[in-house]
Structure 1
Amino acid sequence: MLSYRHSFHAGNHADVLKHITQMLIIKKLKNKPKPAIYIDTHSGAGLYELAGEEAQKTLEFKTGITAIQKYQSEQQDIADYQQLTNEFIANNQYPGSPLIAANMLREQDKMVCMELHNTEIDNLRDNLSDFGSSATIAVHHRDGYEGLLAILPPVPARGLVLIDPSYEVASEYEQVVQTLTKGIKKWSVGIFAIWYPLLSNRAGKKAGLSEKMCQEIAQLDCKSVLNVVMHVTENEGDAGMYGSGLIIVNAPWQLDTDLDELLPGLVNHISADKAHGKGYVEWLKKAE
Structure 2
Amino acid sequence: MFSYRHAFHAGNHADVLKHTTLIALMKYLTQKDTALTVIDTHAGAGLYRLDGDYTETSGEAQEGIFRLVSASKTPAALSASAPAATKKVAPPKTPGAAKAAADEPLAPALQDYVDLLRSLNPQFAASGDPAQLKIYPGSPFIEQQFLSGRDKLKLFELHPTDFKSLTGNIAQLGVGRQVTVACEDGFEVLKTFLPPPARRAMVLCDPSYEIKSDYARVAACMGDAVKRFATGTYVVWYPIIPRPEAHDLPRKLKTLATKAGRSWLNATLTVKSSKLTTDEAGDVKRPGLPASGMFVINPPHTLKADLQAALPQLVARLGQDRNAGFTLDHGG
Instruction: Give TM-score, length-normalised by structure 1.
Output: 0.92
Residue correspondence of structure 1 range 60-79 to structure 2 within 5 A: 60-70=60-70, 73-79=105-111
1:55 is the counterpart of 2:103: no
**Deviation digits for residues 183-241 of structure 1 (CA, Å, limit 9, x no counterpart):** 111110101100001113xxxxxx13222011111111331221000000023133231
After the TM superposition, list the runs of 4 or more consecutive aligned residues in structure 1 that deviate by more than 6 angstroms: none
Please name the residue that 1:218 is paired with: 254
Counterpart for residue 106 of structure 1: 148
What residue in structure 2 maps to residue 281 of structure 1? 328
- How far the C-alpha of 1:76 sits from its partner, in A, is 1.8
SS of 1:241's equivalent in the other structure is coil
Corresponding residue to 1:228 among 260, 267, 276: 267
Once residues 47 and 106 of structure 2 are traced to their aligned partners in structure 1, the CA distance between those partners, rounded to angstroms, is 28
- Structure 1 residue 31, shift from structure 2 partner: 2.6
Q: 1:85-234 alignment to 2 at 5 Å?
A: 85-89=117-121, 90=132, 92-133=134-175, 136-200=178-242, 207-220=243-256, 221-222=259-260, 223-234=262-273
Q: Which has the higher contact order (CA 8 A, sep 6+)?
A: 2
Deviation at 1:245, TM superposition (A): 0.5
* Partner SS state of residue 113, structure 2: helix
- What RMSD in Å do the two structures reach over aligned CA positions? 1.6
For residues 244-255 of structure 1, the aligned pairs below 5 Å read 244-255=292-303
Alpha-carbon spacing, 1:49–1:74, altered in 2? closer, same or farther (3 Å): closer
Distance 2:318 2:133 in 1: 22
Q: Which residue of 2 aligns with 1:257?
A: 305
Partner of 1:24: 24
Matched residue of 2:148: which SS?
coil
2-side partners of 1:37 and 1:115: how far apart?
17
The superposition leaves residues 236-286 of structure 1 with CA deviations (integer Å, 9 ceiling, x where unpaired) of 13323111011101111131122112100111111122x111112102xx2
Q: CA deviation at 1:155?
A: 2.2
Give distance in 1, aligned partners of 2:204 and 2:119: 23
What is the identity, as a one-letter code, of the residue corresponding to 1:88?
L
How far apart, in 1, do the equivalents of 2:247 and 2:302 lie? Answer: 24
Structure number, greater radius of gyration: 2
Report Cα offsets for 1:93-132 as digits up to 9, x if no partner: 2110000111111111110000111111111011011134
Mark the runs of 5 or more structure 2 residues left unpaired by the alignment. 72-103, 122-131, 277-285
SS state at 2:54 partner:
helix
Structure 1 Cα separation of the partners of residues 290 and 244 of structure 2:
12
Q: For 1:165 and 1:139, locate their aligned partners in 2 and report how far apart those are by CA, in whole Å.
A: 16
Report if aligned partners of 1:105, 1:134 keep a CA contact under 8 Å in 2.
Answer: no
Q: State the partner residue of 2:3.
A: 3
Assess if the C-alpha contact under 8 Å between 2:108 and 2:306 holds in 1.
no
In the alignment, residue 145 of structure 2 is paired with which amino acid?
Answer: N
Matched letter for residue 163 of structure 1? C
Alignment: residue pair count: 278
How far apart are 1:8 and its partner, in Å? 0.3
1:7-37 residue CA offsets vs partner (Å, 9 max, x unmatched): 0000100001000100111111123222111
In structure 2, C-alpha distance between the alignment counterparts of 1:130 and 1:60, rounded to whole Å: 27
Instruction: Supply the distance in 2 between the matched residues of 1:51 and 1:119 (Cα, whole angstroms).
Output: 19
Structure 1: which 5+ residue stretches go unaligned? 201-206
Alignment partners' CA distance in 2, 1:134 and 1:68: 34
2:264 and 2:106 map into 1 onto residues whose CA distance is 28
Q: Which moved more, 1:88-97 or 1:58-67?
A: 88-97
Corresponding letter in the other structure for 2:3: S
Indicate how the Cα distance of structure 1 residues 228 and 181 shifts in structure 2: closer, same or farther if over 3 A, else same. Answer: same
